[in-house]
């Protein structure tokens, strides 16, 4: 047989082999399954996207764009403040505003600082040579150390006169928003809160109140910014300023007129409403990641490679093998996890539903079924939302407790002792008793044997522990919302001078 005919015969035999046909069927079947899965995922995402837009849910960064405001009315455009919003200068400013860390090693040191909160700062300032030596008045030493910020604080106070705020938008390599200004703003709020507390200790309450207002203005400058990162900064600032106010109440440093108006400084804050905005808008960052995973594989390869380097063949192949349908299905799941959490937060009635945390149970169940890059994104959203939500609920409770503390202090100033129940405060001192965000019941209250009182919420476990919280040193050093037991606020007895 001629060679050409022999080659054709071999090729015909090859195509007729059963194992090759089986392989061809398998490859075709796998391709068909992937195609069907991709179609299913794309259809699910398209349906969710349309339904979300119909109810007004924003899914992408561009949907949060704000109209420009005049520089002369813009807090973020004020001299010095504007530098905080520039990624090239924000880190240097943050470093300049950083306070030294308190270094406490022993339980005795922690106890001493709890009794006099300025001792730790005094030691830190001496250690860093911000002051030459410690005097008998730690609060005065703190104010002396903080004089280095006088020029900066003057510019911050001037910026506070501007009614509006709009920070420039900066995006990272993945197209998600970054916030260079938040860290220096947080450092600035630290300085203002510490200075307010030291001024109170020096019986300069009006000046302290002014610093609290400036700190709250710093926090308000990011109130319209999307995602939970700016919101977490605001929660932190609210917590610091509330701590200063409570210190003044406990130490009897506010006069009666100030006690009457003090809660008004936080009156415009809607913690749960802002929480809903933060959680709802957080999806814009993760949806940006999902869009890259589903639609822009070359960009994904660059993100998985060090800046300035070319993606390797292995990374490139890996990125192109990610099934689009799976990505879209997980994107739908991610957005529905956020929807679940939002359903259980009711800002209008200031309540967190007992069903809250359903998203965590769903995440745990789903993570057992499949793993992967996109499922990893989903596995982080529920725990993060839970932590942010309980932190916000604790801050909301702290605001309620401040109102009651002020009313109780005024009642004690007028009657010489605390009331037997909170109902005795109504209507002369408060309009009504605030309801617990966790169970909808009035906040709990009882007098203590030493002449003080406790005000508490049942906390995230929704069990009334009778105003008990862990008193271990480790727990006392934890943030208010992370302590075991109830969320307790203490009004101590009147100090005997």
Specify if 200 maps to a domain. Answer: yes
Domain end call among 254, 287, 320: 254
Specify if 122 maps to a domain. Answer: yes
Beta strand 487-491 with 453-457: parallel, antiparallel or unpaired? Answer: antiparallel
Whose tokens are 């109440």? That residue is: 249
Q: What is the average per-residue pLDDT within 222-236? A: 93
160 with 40, same domain? no
Specify if 458 maps to a domain. Answer: no
pLDDT of residue 12: 55
Q: Domain limits at 79?
A: 71-254
Specify if 92 maps to a domain. Answer: yes
More confident residue, 2 or 171: 171
Specify if 412 maps to a domain. Answer: no
Helix (H) or strand (E) holding 413: helix 373-415
30 with 85, same domain? no
Alpha-carbon distance of 127 to 133, in angstroms, equals: 9
205 with 242, same domain? yes
Q: Phi then psi for 55, rounded to 5 degrees?
A: -95, 5
86 with 211, same domain? yes
The pair of three-digit structure tokens given for residue 5, joined into one six-digit string: 């005919």
Neighbours of 323 (CB within 10 A): 16
50 with 199, same domain? no
Side-chain half-sphere CA neighbours of 211 within 13 A = 28
149 with 13, same domain? no
pLDDT at residue 32 is higher than 90: no
Specify if 461 maps to a domain. Answer: no
- Coil, strand or helix: which one is 21? helix
The structural domain count of the chain equals: 2
45 with 167, same domain? no
92 with 18, same domain? no
Whose tokens are 């660059």? That residue is: 302
Instruction: Output the average pLDDT for the chain.
Output: 87
pLDDT at residue 285 is higher than 60: yes
Distances 339 to 276, 286, 332, 357, 386 between C-alpha atoms, Å: 10, 14, 10, 12, 13
pLDDT of residue 370: 53
pLDDT digit string, tens, across residues 384-425 = 888 899 999 999 999 999 999 999 999 999 999 999 999 999
Alpha-carbon distance of 304 to 373, in angstroms, equals: 12
12 with 161, same domain? no
- The answer to whether 199 touches 208, Cβ cutoff 8 Å, is yes
44 with 108, same domain? no
pLDDT of residue 497: 44
Domain end call among 201, 219, 254: 254
pLDDT of residue 20: 61
Burial class from Cβ neighbours inside 10 Å (0-12, 13-18, 19+) for residue 289 reads: buried
- With a CB cutoff of 8 Å and minimum separation 6, the contacts of 379 are 363, 367
102 with 229, same domain? yes
Specify if 88 maps to a domain. Answer: yes
Outline where 168-296 has alpha helix (H): 182-201, 205-220, 228-250, 256-261, 271-295
Specify if 243 maps to a domain. Answer: yes
Domain end call among 208, 229, 254: 254
pLDDT of residue 7: 55
pLDDT of residue 6: 55
Side-chain half-sphere CA neighbours of 220 within 13 A = 21
- Coil, strand or helix: which one is 74? strand
207 with 166, same domain? yes
Residue 324: pLDDT band (50, 70, 90) is confident
């Amino acid at each position: 047989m001629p060679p050409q005919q022999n080659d054709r015969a071999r090729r015909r035999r090859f195509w007729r082999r059963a194992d090759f046909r089986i392989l061809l069927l398998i490859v075709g079947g796998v391709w068909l399954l992937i195609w069907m899965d991709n179609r299913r995922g794309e259809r699910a995402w398209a349906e969710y996207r349309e339904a979300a837009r119909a109810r007004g849910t924003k899914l992408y960064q561009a949907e949060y764009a704000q109209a420009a405001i005049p520089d002369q009315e813009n807090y973020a455009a004020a001299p010095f403040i504007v530098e905080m919003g520039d990624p090239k200068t924000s880190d240097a400013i943050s470093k300049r505003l950083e306070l030294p860390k308190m270094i406490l090693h022993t339980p005795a040191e922690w106890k001493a600082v709890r009794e006099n909160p300025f001792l730790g700062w005094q030691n830190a300032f001496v250690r860093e040579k911000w002051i030459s030596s410690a005097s008998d008045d730690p609060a005065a030493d703190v104010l002396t150390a903080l004089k280095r910020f006088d020029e900066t604080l003057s510019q911050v106070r001037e910026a506070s006169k501007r009614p509006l705020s709009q920070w420039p938008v900066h995006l990272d390599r993945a197209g998600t928003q970054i916030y260079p200004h938040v860290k220096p703003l947080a450092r600035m709020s630290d300085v203002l809160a510490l200075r307010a507390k030291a001024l109170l200790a020096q019986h300069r309450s009006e000046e302290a109140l002014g610093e609290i207002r400036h700190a709250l203005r710093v926090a308000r400058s990011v109130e319209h910014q999307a995602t939970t990162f700016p919101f977490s900064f605001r929660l932190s600032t609210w917590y610091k300023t509330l701590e200063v106010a409570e210190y003044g109440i406990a130490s009897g440093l506010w006069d009666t007129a100030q006690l009457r108006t003090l809660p008004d400084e936080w009156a415009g804050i809607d913690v749960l409403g802002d929480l809903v905005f933060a959680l709802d808008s957080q999806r814009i960052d993760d949806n940006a990641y999902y869009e890259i995973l589903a639609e822009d594989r070359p960009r994904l390869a660059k993100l998985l490679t060090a800046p300035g380097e070319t993606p390797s063949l292995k990374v490139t192949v890996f990125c192109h093998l990610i099934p689009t349908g799976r990505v879209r299905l997980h994107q739908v799941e991610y957005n529905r996890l956020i929807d679940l959490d939002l359903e259980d937060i009711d800002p209008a009635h200031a309540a967190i539903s007992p069903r809250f945390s359903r998203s965590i149970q769903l995440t745990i169940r789903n993570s057992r079924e499949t793993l992967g890059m996109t499922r990893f994104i989903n596995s982080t959203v529920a725990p993060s939302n839970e932590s942010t939500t309980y932190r916000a609920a604790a801050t909301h409770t702290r605001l309620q407790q401040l109102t009651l503390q002020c009313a109780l202090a005024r009642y004690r100033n007028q009657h010489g002792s605390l009331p037997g129940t909170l109902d005795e405060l109504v209507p002369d001192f408060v309009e009504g008793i605030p309801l617990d965000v966790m169970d909808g019941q009035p906040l709990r209250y009882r007098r203590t044997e030493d002449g003080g009182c406790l005000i508490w919420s049942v906390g995230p476990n929704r069990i009334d522990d009778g105003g008990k919280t862990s008193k271990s040193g480790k727990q006392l050093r934890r943030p208010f919302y992370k302590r075991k037991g109830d969320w307790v606020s203490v009004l101590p007895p009147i100090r005997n001078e």
